[in-house]
Structure 1
Amino acid sequence: MSEFARGFRLHPPRSGPVFEGAAFPSGHAVVLDDPKYGFVTFAESTEELLRGGYHGARIEWAGREGCAECADYLERKRQAESPEAAATPLVDPANRTEATLRERIAAALFEQNIRIPWAMAYPDDVINYLGDADAFLAVRDAELQHLRDRIAELEQPAPERSDR
C-alpha cells in the first residue's frame, strides 16, 4: 500500500478548540481529543466521525489551498450547469476584493439557517446556498422587470381624448 494517512483539522461548529486528526487509506479516522492525556476518538470514516461525537464540525484537510481551489471548482460547476454562465464568467477569484451580491446573499442565508460563519461552510453547502441565492436573484430580477414595465406604462403620455 503506497498511500499514507492524510492529516486534517476538525473545526467544531461553535467556537472552541480545533482538533488534529488523520484519515487512513483504510477509511478509518482518528482525532486527538486531548493531547495532554492522549484521549482520542476513532471512527470507521470521517463521515462517521462527523455524524457521531463531532456532529456539525468541519474538516480542513492538510495541504489544500481552500479558497482558490473552492472558487475554481465553483466557477467550473457554474459554467457547466448554465450555457449563459460560460459567456459571463465571474470575476477572477485571484483579483476579487469583495463578495458578489450572490455570495453575500448565500452567506446571509447560510449564517441565518446554520448559525456558523460562512467561512466555515462545507463546499457542498457553498454550492447549495449559492443555488438558493440564484433562485432569490431570479425572483428579484423578475420583480424588477415587472416594476420597470409598469413604470414605462405610467411614463407614456396619455392618448388625447376627443370629446366631440
Structure 2
Amino acid sequence: TANATDLGEKAAAFAAEITTLQAALATRDTEIEQLGAASPAQACQDQTDAALADGAVSFANGTPVLDDAAGATLDAIAAIALACADQGLTLEIEGHTDGSGGEATNLLLSNGRAKAVETYLTNSGVPANAIRSVGFGGNYPIADADPAQNQRIVFDWE
C-alpha cells in the first residue's frame, strides 16, 4: 500500500506539472501571436488582405489593362500602402497567369499586369521606392482544378 500511495503522489505531481506546462505553453503561444501581430509588415499584410477580400484586382481578358472594377480595391490598397511606406516597408506586387499560352507570353503578361498595378499605386501617391513589381508567368499555380484562379495579383509586404 505504501508503494501505491507513493505512485499516487507521483501521478498527482505529474498532473500538476502537466497543468503548469500547458499554461506556460498557452502563454508563450499568445506572446508569439502578439509579436507577429505587432509586426508592421504583418499589420500591413493583414490590412491588404482585408481589402482584397472586399474586391479583386482584375484585368481585361488576356491583357495588362486593369478593369474598371479594380479601381475601388486598388484605391483601398493605395491608402494602406501610403501609411505602410511611411514605416519603411516595401510592397512587392506579384503577377501570375495560368499555364495557357507560351512561357514568354505569360511572363510578359504577368509582368505587365504587376506593372499596371504598380503604376496605379504610384499615380495614387504611393512612393515608387516603396513598390516593387515582378511577373512570374504561370510558374506558381495555386489551383489545378480551376486554372482561372492562377491568374492573380499577390501583394506581399516586406
Shorter-chain TM-score range = under 0.3
* TM-score, length basis structure 2: 0.25
* TM-score, length basis structure 1: 0.24
More strand as a share of residues: 1
More helix as a share of residues: 2
Flag the structure with more relative contact order, 1 or 2, with Cα contacts below 8 A and sequence separation at least 6.
2
